[in-house]
């Protein structure tokens, strides 16, 4: 059994269809079917139920699928990490969700660059879920996100829990004073949530915070990203719940008010490939803690 067999089987199991799997693998269908038969013969068990369309896995097939996915992710990780270790030019590729740009990310990167000028830093804006795949594909080395998704190949460190706040149009009656709002006040509002996809996303975190208190806004509108949500708030289309750092956006047509609800928080997360303990990542984590110390932000220190 070779890695090729695992890749072929995972494509068939994911696509539930031999034709689509062959297209995805850029091979013809007959050799694909042959390779799957070979794999079943080698293992001495049936992985796919005969004659099923869409393809149905046997119990052994479902077991093999889960473990094959893990092995393929490990193989990809081994490739990217070995390349990294062999690199003479040091690089750090960062995936980030938009809200971190309005908060501490610029300060963290400025410090990192001044302390480690020999490391080239690259940036990719993406959702937390996209960061998980980009880490496994070796596109990024660290992801700064907000959604606590589980993946056996990813190590996730919760850096801190950030308070959530409300973004209101400047003309909103509550915007005249800086008094905090309560989540209950949102029952009479149209709430703009983001990002619409991929899910789960920050939108689900906001909806969970509301449903924990059985609060249903008048209307919920899902939009593609943070900037659209805040732009539509400015246009008077509704209100949005955003992490505290989004105040850094500073717009004249939007007012940000704190929430009285103490459980309304969103985590800032540091995600890396499970076994990656490279120097650049350890240094990046140390710089983040330096910035938290300088800003008087409370956190629970972890090591890689």
Give me 216's structure tokens: 């249903």
Rounded distance, CA 165 to CA 260, Å?
Answer: 9
Of 201, 245, 247, 278, the one binding ligand BEZ by CB under 6 A: 245
Site for ligand BEZ in 97-156 (CB under 6 A): 100, 103-105, 108, 144
- Nearest by Cα to 97 from 128, 139, 120: 128
Identify which of residues 100 and 247 has a Cβ nearer to ligand BEZ in the complex: 100
CB of 284 to ligand BEZ, least distance (A): 9
CB 89 within 8 A of CB 58: no
Q: Which of 100, 179, 184 is nearest to 142 (CA)?
A: 100
- 263 neighbors 209 (Cβ within 8 angstroms): yes
Count of residues interacting with ligand BEZ (CB under 6 A): 11
Cβ closer to ligand BEZ: 233 or 288? Answer: 288
Fill in the per-residue mask, 72 to 101: x = in contact with ligand BEZ (CB under 6 A), - = not in contact. Answer: ----------------------------x-
C-beta of 60: minimal distance to ligand BEZ in Å? 43
Measured distance CA(191)–CA(299) in Å, rounded: 30
Q: How far is the CB of 116 from ligand BEZ (least distance, A)?
A: 16
- Least distance between ligand BEZ and beta carbon 108 (Å): 5
Complex with ligand BEZ: residue 219 or 301, whichever CB lies closer? 301
Q: Which residue is nearest to ligand BEZ (CB)?
A: 268
Alpha helices in 124-253 (DSSP H): 128-136, 202-212, 226-234
Binding residue for ligand BEZ (CB under 6 A) from 159, 203, 255, 264? Answer: 159
- Work out the burial of residue 7: count CB atoms within 10 Å of its CB; fewer than 13 is exposed, 13-18 middle, 19 or more buried: middle
CB nearer ligand BEZ, residue 12 or residue 246: 246
Give the residue, chosen from 268, 272, 281, 285, that forms a contact with ligand BEZ under the rule CB under 6 A.
268
Q: Does 68 bind ligand BEZ (CB under 6 A)?
A: no
Question: Taking CB under 6 A as the criterion, which residues in 270-289 touch ligand BEZ?
Answer: 288
CB of 142 to ligand BEZ, least distance (A): 9
> Which residue's entry shows tokens 């990167």?
109
Name the minimum Å distance from CB 300 to ligand BEZ.
12
3-state helix, strand, coil in the chain (%, to 5): 45, 20, 35
Q: Which helix (H) or strand (E) holds 23?
A: helix 18-25
**DSSP helix/strand/coil, 42:** helix
CA dihedral 53, 55, 59, 60 (to 10 degrees): 140
The site for ligand BEZ (CB under 6 A) is made up of 100, 103-105, 108, 144, 159-160, 245, 268, 288
């Amino acid at each position: 059994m070779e890695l090729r067999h695992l890749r072929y089987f995972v494509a068939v199991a994911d696509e539930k269809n031999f034709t689509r799997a062959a297209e995805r693998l850029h091979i013809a269908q007959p050799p694909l079917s042959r390779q799957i038969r070979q794999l079943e013969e080698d293992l001495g068990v049936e992985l796919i139920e005969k004659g099923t369309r869409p393809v149905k896995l046997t119990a052994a097939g479902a077991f093999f699928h889960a473990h094959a996915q893990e092995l393929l992710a490990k193989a990809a990780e081994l490739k990217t990490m070995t390349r990294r270790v062999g690199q003479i030019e040091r690089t750090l590729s960062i995936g980030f969700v938009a809200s971190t740009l309005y908060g501490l990310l610029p300060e963290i990167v400025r410090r990192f660059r001044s302390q480690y000028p020999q490391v080239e830093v690259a940036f990719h804006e993406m959702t937390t879920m996209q960061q998980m795949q980009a880490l496994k594909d070796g596109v990024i080395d660290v992801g700064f996100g907000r959604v606590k998704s589980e993946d056996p190949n990813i190590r996730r460190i919760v850096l801190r829990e950030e308070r959530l706040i409300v973004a209101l149009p400047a003309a909103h009656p509550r915007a005249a004073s800086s008094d905090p709002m309560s989540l209950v006040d949102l029952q009479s509002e149209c709430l703009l949530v983001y990002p619409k996809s991929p899910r789960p996303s920050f939108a689900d975190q906001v909806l969970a915070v509301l449903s924990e208190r059985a609060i249903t806004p008048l209307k919920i509108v899902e939009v593609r990203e943070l900037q659209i949500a805040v732009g539509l708030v400015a246009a008077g289309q509704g209100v949005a719940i955003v992490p505290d750092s989004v105040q850094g956006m500073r717009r004249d047509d939007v007012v940000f008010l704190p929430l009285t609800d103490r459980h309304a928080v969103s985590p800032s997360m540091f995600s890396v490939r499970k076994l990656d303990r490279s120097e650049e990542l350890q240094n990046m984590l140390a710089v983040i803690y330096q910035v938290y110390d300088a800003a008087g932000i409370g956190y629970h220190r972890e090591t890689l």
